[in-house]
């Protein structure tokens, strides 16, 4: 169980035929005194392996968790990662989805703190 001041969420963009995640993002956010004390963001479906979005985690940790901070962190979810490209989605589209779905998961996790 998560402690007080922590929330978690998982969001995905799925292939309509298989329902598998084209991109899925899980986020756990912990708050202390109105700011992010820690966060963990994991991504699936976007690359050939599950990965942590460490650049996004670093951007969010210590922030006020406002709209600008969330958008800045979400924009970094795919940073430094090589995206898959297949029939479901191109690498460019998957990188875009990482930001969109990442923002959704982060926002939902914050709302659950």
Which CATH number does the domain housing residue 25 bear?
A: 3.30.390.50
Is 16 contained in some domain? yes
- Residue 51: φ, ψ to 5°: -140, 155
Domain of 97, in residue numbers: 6-111
- Residue 3 is predicted with a pLDDT of 87
User: What is the number of structural domains in the chain?
Assistant: 1
pLDDT value of residue 48: 96
Is 58 contained in some domain? yes
**Domain assignment present for 1:** no
From the number of C-beta atoms within 10 Å of its C-beta (0-12, 13-18, 19+), residue 75 rates as middle
Q: What is the pLDDT of residue 26?
A: 99
Contact 39, 53 (CB under 8 A): no
Distance between CA atoms of 2 and 14, rounded to whole angstroms?
Answer: 27
Query: Which segments in the chain show pLDDT lower than 70?
Result: none
Answer yes or no: are the C-beta atoms of 10 and 113 closer than 8 Å: no
- In a domain, residue 90? The reply is yes
């Amino acid at each position: 169980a998560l402690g007080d001041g922590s929330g978690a969420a998982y969001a995905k963009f799925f292939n309509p035929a298989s329902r598998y995640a084209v991109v899925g993002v899980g986020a756990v956010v912990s708050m202390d005194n109105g700011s992010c004390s820690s966060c963990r963001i994991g991504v699936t479906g976007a690359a050939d392996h599950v990965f942590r979005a460490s650049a996004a985690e670093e951007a969010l940790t210590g922030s006020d968790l406002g709209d600008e901070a969330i958008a800045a962190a979400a924009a970094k979810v795919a940073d430094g990662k090589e995206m898959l490209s297949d029939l479901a989605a191109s690498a460019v589209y998957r990188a875009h989805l990482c930001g969109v779905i990442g923002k959704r998961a982060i926002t939902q996790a914050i709302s659950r703190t």
